[in-house]
Amino acid sequence: MSTMIACAREGRVTLRVAADVHSDGSCWHGGIPVLDAQAPGGLDRAALVPLVAARDWAAVPAVNYARMGANPSGLVVMPAADYDAEARRVAAAHLREYRASRPGAAERAEIAALLARADRLEYSGSENNVVGPICMRAEAGRRLAAWRTAYPAEALEEQVSHLRSMADRKRELAAGALTHDCDGSLTHEMQQSRHDTWMAEADALEAEAAGLEGA
C-alpha cells in the first residue's frame, strides 16, 4: 500500500509523492526508486539519469537510494502527514514566540484588517461604500494612535521598517533612472540628476531609520 511521502532538504520540501516503502526503507513510485543525487560516495545526477532511463537499478549504488528517515546527505524522507504536522507545530511555536516578543502584534493585525475591510467596502457595490469606509478608517486611526502609545518599541520597529522600505524603493527608482527613457527625450545629464536625487532621498531615509534605532 502506497503512502504519501515528503522529501525535504534544509527544511524545504523537494518532493512530495505517493510511494511504496520497501522493507529496506527505500521508496518507490511507479516502479521507480526515489534517489538521492547528493549521497556521499554515490553517483551524481548526471550519472544517475541514464541509469534511471534504462531502469538499470542494479547499477545504482545502494547509497543513492533515498530511504525513510534521515539520509547521510541531509535528505529527510518521512510520511507527508508527519512532515505537515511537524511544520504546523514549528509554525505555531514561532507564532507564540513572535507574540510573546511583540505583545501588540495581535492588536496591530486587527487594525490592518480593519483598514483592509474599509478598502474592500469602498470599492464594493454596497450602499454604505462611502460613510462605512470613513467610519472604519477613523476607528482604525484612533486604535493605531492608542497602539503606538501602548507599544512604543513595536511602533518604532514598524516606523524603521517603513522608512527602509521607502529607501529601497528610491534606490530602485535611481537604478532605473539611468536606463529608462521611454521616448528619448532625456539627456544623460537629466538621467544622472534624477538618479542622484533619488539616491539622496534614499540616503536621507536610511539615515532617519538609523537615527530612530539609535535614539
pLDDT tens digits for 199-215? 999 999 999 999 998 86
Q: How far apart are CA 12 and CA 120, in angstroms?
A: 35
What's the pLDDT at 191?
A: 87
pTM of this prediction exceeds 0.85:
no
Per-residue model confidence (pLDDT) at position 68: 97
What SS3 state is found at 124? coil
Q: Report pLDDT digits (tens) over 51-105.
A: 999 999 999 999 999 999 999 999 999 999 999 999 999 999 998 998 888 899 9
CB-based contact 141:149 (threshold 8 Å): no
Name the one residue in this structure whose C-alpha cell is 501588540: 104
Mean pLDDT across the chain = 93
Q: Residue 184 above 70 pLDDT?
A: no
Give residue-wise pLDDT tens across range 5-49.
999 999 899 999 999 999 999 999 999 999 999 999 999 999 999
Q: What pLDDT, on the 0 to 100 scale, is given for residue 66?
A: 97
The pLDDT value given to residue 189? 86
Domain boundaries in the chain?
A: 3-90, 103-150, 153-215
Report the distance separating Cα 61 and Cα 90, nearest Å. 35
Q: How far apart are CA 42 and CA 48, in angstroms?
A: 9
